[in-house]
Structure 1
Amino acid sequence: MNPRAQLSRPPLERMMRIHDELRRNTLVNCTKLVKALEVCRKTIVRDIAFMRDRLDLPIEYDAQIQAYRYTHPVNSFPTVQVTEGELLALLVARRALEQYRGTPFHRQLEIAFDKLAGGLKDKISFSPADELRAVSFKNMGLGKADLTVFNSLSGAVLKLNEVEFDYRKPGSAAAERRRVRPYHLANRENLWYLIAHDLERNALRTYALPRLTNVAVTKQHFEKPDDFTPEKFFANALGVLGGDGNFTVVIRFKPEAADLVREREWHESQEIRELRGGGLELTLRLGALAEIERWVLGWGSSAEVVKPAALREKISTACIEMQTVYRQ
């Protein structure tokens, strides 16, 4: 293989270089482009034909000067073709990125959006500032993610290398050293989690990234089970924590809370039964009760656990303990 061919620019980069030359009204012919782009004459001719026939760029060959030129001004290279409605969707997505400012993906997504929008300015007229004022997003309690930790773990997930780290469980004063096989990184309820097989406990575990320190990626390679999927892992979890149980949870909501419950999909298994007077019963099938307990308490007296009995007892105990706190 010709060493120069191995180093030639990708087609899109070549065509954008040709576009820049044409836009500046410089003398653009095959001889000059072959030298500048280090490709053969046939490649240049093919690129120009694509730009003219597929991208609708106004390129013509002027025999008098023996060069290519634009027949009228072109400001931007048309890398993306979208409708005005699709552009508005992009702008909404751009606004949505703001809620993830400070997370590992924000900067990369911001750059990608700017590239997409930049290629549209000669196709559609729009004012991002005006459009973006029409929508906004706000999530409470955005999780904090250490970019160095995230990058180390994401690399280990992709390359299937075992990882060691210190992990502090909620409420514990000291961290414990763990060695795991990382399967997946998930953003659940605005917080990043690592799903990994804990080698000492011989079981899948979920680790919150903010509680994870002193990460060391090892050279030990592993094979991820074919039957693992994040969808399967989280199937019986309300948010993050699944379990081996099989609980049918029934919660009765008063009318003042019923509309708020109807407006969202809380879990894939949910079933809603309407009650007289405007209330409703929500049925969920979960593998653990810890998350649903906290969720029910958040509704205050507007929600009542019907079953299981174990969850109803937990809620009752929590209410008694709260009374003790507030009566002091």
Structure 2
Amino acid sequence: MGKEYLRGWDIACPTLKKVQIYFMPTKPQLSRPPLERMLKIHAALRRGELINSSQLVAELEVTRKTIGRDIAFMRDRLDLPIEYDAKRAVYRYTHQVEAFPTVNVTEGELLALLVAQRALEQYRGTPFHRQLEIAFGKLSDGLRDRISFSPADEIRTVSFKNIGLGKTDLAIFNPLSAAVLHHNEVTFSYRKPGSSQATQRRVHPYHLAHRENLWYLVGFDVEREALRTFALPRILKVKATAEKFVRPPDFSPETFFANALGVLGGSGNHKIVIRFTAAAAERVREREWHESQEMRELRSGGLELTLRLGALEEAKQWILGWGAAAEVVGPASLRENMRKTVETLVERYTK
């Protein structure tokens, strides 16, 4: 795969493996794309038509050399049984071909792709959603004559639902994603949580990440001389400048978010210990909360969870969500913060 594909959308997305696809150049073309030409040639040959170069040149609006290269690729690289009949000056298939071999996946792999497509529905509206939707369509169409189940029926057995899914404004997302891809500095107004006033920012955009059901931009704030995380719903008036930047070679989103429970990391190194009641323990065991997590079973049937995080505030909010089923053992500063918060809640609910 060429470098232009490796430099694609710099976003946090899973990598699909074991799918063999013949990628065509992304440069603008005046003629039909090569894959489209070959599919048309395949369709004609599959119908049993005897076609010659003159017909293909007229129909596909390309030169004879281009037709020759396409047919050579289909015969030599895709192993399609194309034969040239010199007496009649026509091409034909020597035997029946069921499907154009652009993909090679099993039924299980196709079903996994379709499940992934269903999961993408919750991100509808972002630019890559439509591109992936088209790609999934091509994959399933390519296997239409080679599968023994109905993807449409199977996919109805799977659904996805996230609470609090963030809204995506394409007027914000599009220029930011382009700036990340092309390494252009951007300016925008940004409003911090709880603030009614927005401030102007100059940022080198490094990465777009979808975490905790919300899109975030990770970038270097030029005036503050530090890496910052910006929630897209709080970004206004994005403008890409002509100023280029070089992303540090040692930057990686995995490292940046390594000590964050969700989004907010930090420079600290906090060992957070939480005890869960027996009623909540099963739900805690069932999930992977963080790479650093350690679990210890308690005699009471409860569970002790240990996390190593860079900041405490995000952990505090998560622990509060468990209510009385969770108790902070340490650090002492977090336990004291939780105690004060509980006192405030008691006062609020006893008025």
TM over 0.5: yes
Shift of 1:49: 5.1
State yes or no: 1:83 paired with 2:106.
Answer: yes
Q: How does 1:23-62 map to 2 (within 5 A)?
A: 23=46, 25-34=48-57, 36=60, 38-40=62-64, 44-45=67-68, 47-48=70-71, 50-52=73-75, 55=78, 57=80, 59-61=82-84
CA deviations on 1:222-264 (whole Å, 9 max, x unpaired) are: 2222211111111111100011111111111111111111111
* One-letter amino acid of the counterpart of residue 313, structure 1: E
Structure 2 residue 340 is the aligned partner of structure 1 residue 313 = no
SS at match of 1:278: coil
Change in Cα spacing, 1:48 to 1:223, as seen in structure 2 (3 Å) is closer
Match of 1:21 among 44, 55, 60: 44
1:286 pairs with 295, 305, 309, which one?
A: 309
C-alpha contact 2:271 2:307 (8 A) present in aligned 1: yes
Structure 1 gaps of 5+ residues are 1-5
TM value normalised by structure 1: 0.89
Q: In the alignment, is the contact (CA less than 8 A) between 2:216 and 2:229 conserved in 1?
A: yes
Distance 1:207 1:89, change over 3 A: same
Partners of 1:125 and 1:262 lie apart in 2 by 38
1:178 to 201, 218, 235: 201
CA contact (8 A) 2:53 2:64 kept: no
Matched, 1:325 2:325: no
Q: Secondary structure at the match of 2:300?
A: helix
2:90 to 64, 67, 77: 67
1:93 lines up with 2:116 in the alignment: yes
Which structure has more RCO (C-alpha within 8 Å, separation ≥ 6)? Answer: 2
2:160 is paired with a residue of what secondary structure? coil
How far apart, in 2, do the equivalents of 1:133 and 1:159 lie? Answer: 39
The answer to whether the 8 Å contact 1:255/1:280 transfers is yes
- Which residue in the other structure is 1:123 paired with? 146
RMSD between superposed Cα atoms in Å: 2.4
Cα distance in 1 for partners of 2:221, 2:44 equals 57
Structural mapping, 1:295-314, within 5 Å: 295-314=318-337
The SS at the match of 1:276 is: coil
Mapping of residues 120-159 of structure 1, within 5 Å: 120-159=143-182
Task: Note the residue ranges of structure 2 that are not aligned, 5 or more in a row.
Answer: 1-28
Partner of 2:287: 264
Give me the whole-angstrom Cα distance separating, in 1, the residues matched to 2:272 and 2:91: 71
Q: CA deviation at 1:73?
A: 6.4
User: Which structure is larger by alpha-carbon Rg, 1 or 2?
Assistant: 1
Shift of 1:319: 1.0
CA distance in 2, matches of 1:225, 1:291: 27
> TM-score, normalised to structure 2's length?
0.84
Cα displacement (A) at 1:14: 3.2
Calculate percent identity across the aligned residue pairs: 68
State the 4+ residue runs in structure 1 displaced beyond 6 angstroms: none
Query: For 1:170-209, what aligned pairs fall within 5 Å after superposition?
Result: 170-209=193-232
Aligned to 1:238: 261
Quick check: 2:126–2:173 contact (8 Å CA) kept in 1?
A: no
The CA deviation at 1:40 is 4.2
State how far apart, in whole Å, the 2-side matches of 1:94 and 1:141 are: 20
Q: CA deviation at 1:277?
A: 2.1
Instruction: Determine the C-alpha separation between the residues in 2 that align with 1:102 and 1:325.
Output: 40
Q: Distance between the aligned counterparts of 2:242 and 2:81, measured in 1?
A: 54
Q: Using the TM superposition, name which of 145-154 and 12-21 deviates more.
A: 12-21
Distance change (3 Å), C-alpha of 1:23 and 1:241: same
2:3 matched residue in structure 1: none
In structure 2, C-alpha distance between the alignment counterparts of 1:279 and 1:103, rounded to whole Å: 42
Shift of residue 55 of structure 1? 4.1
| Residues in 1 aligned to 2:230 and 2:137: alpha-carbon distance in whole angstroms | 34
Q: Is the 8 A contact 2:265 2:311 kept in 1?
A: yes
Determine the C-alpha separation between the residues in 1 that align with 2:289 and 2:107: 33
Shift of 1:37: 5.3
CA distance in 2, matches of 1:174, 1:150: 21
- Which secondary structure does the structure 2 equivalent of 1:82 belong to? coil
Call closer, same or farther: CA 1:222–1:53 in 2, change over 3 Å: closer
How many Å separate the matches in 2 of 1:100 and 1:228? 26
Deviation at 1:270, TM superposition (A): 0.8
The CA deviation string for residues 246-298 of structure 1, in whole angstroms up to 9 with x for no partner, is 11111111111111111111111111111112111111111111100000000
- The superposition leaves residues 113-143 of structure 1 with CA deviations (integer Å, 9 ceiling, x where unpaired) of 1111111111113312210122211111111
Query: Residue type matched to 1:38 in 2?
Result: V
